[in-house]
Structure 1
């Protein structure tokens, strides 16, 4: 598989305040609690092997955490049957030849999460366990106010039959929808270890004043150009490359609902998930299926463990919105790029020809999206889209040390021109492109951590 590499040095953990040790600790704690609950259960005797496997996972993770702190070399990934293991290990070999295969020298966005997934995959009793699910669920339970507010707003636009709004209304609403999707990404759970619930509520604020204030923190804003592109479409398909779950997935569905329900421009939205738990909160097929489940008691879910009470109207609005989304799933208006029941794991290759059995495997390969043109099946599919929305652009631009004034067009390299691209990204990693002269310098002087706090955002279009 060919890989095109940007002509700029990558970021490595030594350049960053890495959150990985914190995340590893949270996985260890999660497995420990799971083991404890099993051991205290009435049927504990039948789950001895699972508990023992859990202890083995904890030991491996603790050793990995120690290796991170002591700049050990990255190890080859064990073969769990996925073709991508070959890709990862080939890249590891290249890094070793370049003397860049230790924890402080390897590219930051690389191996450890795939290694963790391989450990889980090789233990049948833990193979389908998402160690991040508990964090995702807890964060979503803390989002009730935002969820109900959004549901009420969407139902105020009109419920039931599709109804196209006037264009002047559409443009204003579209701008608000784009901002909502942008700031929904602020709740990436890899940041949550250092945040409390009051911070989460602040980041999820969706009121008009909050959106107006939020514009001041959008360092690049192509939203007007995006609107001009969208309004030129007719019954088009939109693709969304999903990032985080669950609140951001909810806001992605809201944007999709707005486009297909209230405009003549879009008739179908395809959502692209990750196939394995990836970088804490990334969407896997089960997250999509769970959110759209018809069996969820939202009143109990959002009130669980809190003192907040929501009105019957709030609950009715959310139920009605979810019902509409399930209807869109049934008729193909909303479509996940893989079957929602797809189990966790990377599919094996087809006839030994080295091609990916499932195109969605691409999203968790170790290389940047600069190599997308080599993925013929996936690339051909995306070329049929009226607009491809990337939630975040870290791998789209590659996690390298671009000068901040590098154009977005240059930073996406070979992907440029394949199809219309919209990137919605909050700044939670060092890579930033598309800024005007002097902006980065001003922020670095006044807010040294501005690249990684999630306070600032980018709306970047490459038509």
Structure 2
């Protein structure tokens, strides 16, 4: 098993994002879970007033009682965390990985690293979500409940303006599809727009993206390049040219496959769909896209199979996005009928791709929360991705057939690099250990945690001296590519 020559990030470094997480962020997340269950219980309690069937009333009361028990358990974790108490073993609840977490916890106990402020950050953060999941699994009525679903949907619904804008952008591409096919340079500029859309896609503000009207597409090289140049200072390492050259090598091949290791649901998943649509619809470089979800509620907003399945249905629902408010007496200014039609046609295309297998999940699309799959369980272990071949051979073998594996977001970057205190100039190839060369890797990461690699020393020193929290304030990003070994 690979071991890095440097220690991992931990909670003892005051001022680090790891320290901020355990002191501030986790209590807020746990409180959010408690509030969510409390509101659900309150709504159930109100519904009891109108029930006359005694069996139905008894069931609702049983659900409320179980909800109260979950609230108590989550509250206890919050209490223990604040007092640096030992982590408890995860109960044998019948779902995967409890034994994996507990085996690691036993090792940590041997070195007295098993309390909330001593345990390695990457382990404890993954452990927290698996522990909370166990509280729901051990009930009768809450097994399939996602305590983060309401939050995910609410954030998604606030993204309507950007969603309609992107739908219209894709519609404009459709009108210029033939001209793009004979002008690879224009296609490359749009590709870079798609990469950067996905890079910054966990924010609903698309002000940094170029809106490609029909006229702008005619002048795409100058318009796109100017916009990309303006954003370049925030991408601390940018391998987009290398990725584009890699993709072009698949022109004309019938079996080229792109894999997305997903991060957040909602708007970010929407941008992943848009990018995937661009690759298979408008370029000759990809014929199939596989999306990799998490099988349990994970890090609040990560995509689960139910999230994936509901996304297209939500986008097609005429009532999912709220109407935009307008001044009294003014004409309605919510998204135009044209924009809605553009979105409808695009999402219907996605559904046809899902039906035909052009788009697919790495697991059955109807997989419930808590299901087990050899190609997905690894994503919710506490392990770095370094030893995927030994720990998840089926997954590694599957990804080895991919033309490009796109790892989305911050947690995937942390796991690719082991969440280690690497020197900032450490090559990406070094930081991903034995995984380097296994398959082509593209990491799209907005900086939201301490670990960072592949940054020139001069750039890192300048950012450090500025006093800016550049490692985790979300303002900066990296686009890192590692090709398959020859």
TM-score relative to the length of structure 1: 0.90
CA–CA distance in structure 2, aligned partners of residues 399 and 278 of structure 1: 18
Out of 431, 434, 452, the position equivalent to 2:472 is 452
Distance 1:437-1:76 versus aligned 2 partners, 3 A rule? same
Distance 1:210-1:92 versus aligned 2 partners, 3 A rule? farther
Out of 58, 78, 83, the position equivalent to 1:65 is 78
Out of 271, 280, 283, the position equivalent to 2:300 is 280
Give 5+ residue unaligned stretches, structure 1: 188-199, 348-356
Give 1:317's aligned residue: 342
- 1:157 maps to 2:157: no
- 1:52 maps to 2:71: no
Report if the CA contact (8 A) 1:183-1:203 is conserved. Answer: no
| Aligned residue pair count | 438
Q: Quick check: which has more Rg, 1 or 2?
A: 2
Q: Give 1:373 shift.
A: 1.4
CA–CA distance in structure 1, aligned partners of residues 11 and 208 of structure 2: 29
Give 2:219's aligned residue: none
Considering Cα pairs closer than 8 Å and 6+ residues apart, tell me whether 1 or 2 has the greater RCO: 1
CA–CA distance in structure 1, aligned partners of residues 368 and 210 of structure 2: 34
Q: Give 1:206 shift.
A: 5.6
- 1:17 maps to 2:36: no
Q: Give 1:61 shift.
A: 1.0
CA–CA distance in structure 2, aligned partners of residues 214 and 239 of structure 1: 26
Out of 374, 382, 388, the position equivalent to 1:372 is 388
CA–CA distance in structure 2, aligned partners of residues 288 and 159 of structure 1: 28
Give 1:143's aligned residue: 159
Report if the CA contact (8 A) 1:143-1:204 is conserved. Answer: no
Distance 1:289-1:163 versus aligned 2 partners, 3 A rule? farther
Distance 1:139-1:105 versus aligned 2 partners, 3 A rule? same
Out of 302, 312, 315, the position equivalent to 2:321 is 302
CA–CA distance in structure 1, aligned partners of residues 437 and 398 of structure 2: 15
**Is 404-413 or 392-401 further displaced after alignment?**
392-401
Report if the CA contact (8 A) 2:258-2:403 is conserved. Answer: yes
Report if the CA contact (8 A) 1:146-1:205 is conserved. Answer: no
Distance 1:85-1:168 versus aligned 2 partners, 3 A rule? same
Give 1:5's aligned residue: 3
Residues 35-50 of structure 1: pairs in structure 2 closer than 5 A = 35-41=41-47, 42-43=50-51, 45=57, 46-50=59-63
**Is 357-366 or 428-437 further displaced after alignment?**
357-366
The residue matched to 1:254 in structure 2 has which SS? helix
The residue matched to 1:301 in structure 2 has which SS? coil
CA–CA distance in structure 2, aligned partners of residues 368 and 203 of structure 1: 34
Distance 1:57-1:212 versus aligned 2 partners, 3 A rule? farther
Q: Give 1:7 shift.
A: 2.8
The residue matched to 1:59 in structure 2 has which SS? helix
- 1:181 maps to 2:198: yes
CA–CA distance in structure 2, aligned partners of residues 95 and 34 of structure 1: 37
TM-superposition CA deviations, 1:150-173 (whole Å, max 9, x none): 110011111799996221111111
CA–CA distance in structure 1, aligned partners of residues 62 and 135 of structure 2: 15
Give 1:223's aligned residue: 240
CA–CA distance in structure 2, aligned partners of residues 338 and 159 of structure 1: 34
CA–CA distance in structure 2, aligned partners of residues 100 and 313 of structure 1: 58
CA–CA distance in structure 2, aligned partners of residues 50 and 204 of structure 1: 46
Q: Give 1:396 shift.
A: 1.0
Q: Give 1:394 shift.
A: 1.3
TM-score relative to the length of structure 2: 0.86
Report if the CA contact (8 A) 2:180-2:186 is conserved. Answer: no
Distance 1:152-1:388 versus aligned 2 partners, 3 A rule? same
Report if the CA contact (8 A) 2:294-2:302 is conserved. Answer: yes
Give 5+ residue unaligned stretches, structure 2: 14-18, 212-223, 327-332
CA–CA distance in structure 1, aligned partners of residues 244 and 306 of structure 2: 32
Give 2:102's aligned residue: 89
Give 2:374's aligned residue: 358
CA–CA distance in structure 2, aligned partners of residues 274 and 345 of structure 1: 9
Distance 1:404-1:451 versus aligned 2 partners, 3 A rule? same
Q: Give 1:447 shift.
A: 3.7
Q: Give 1:292 shift.
A: 1.7
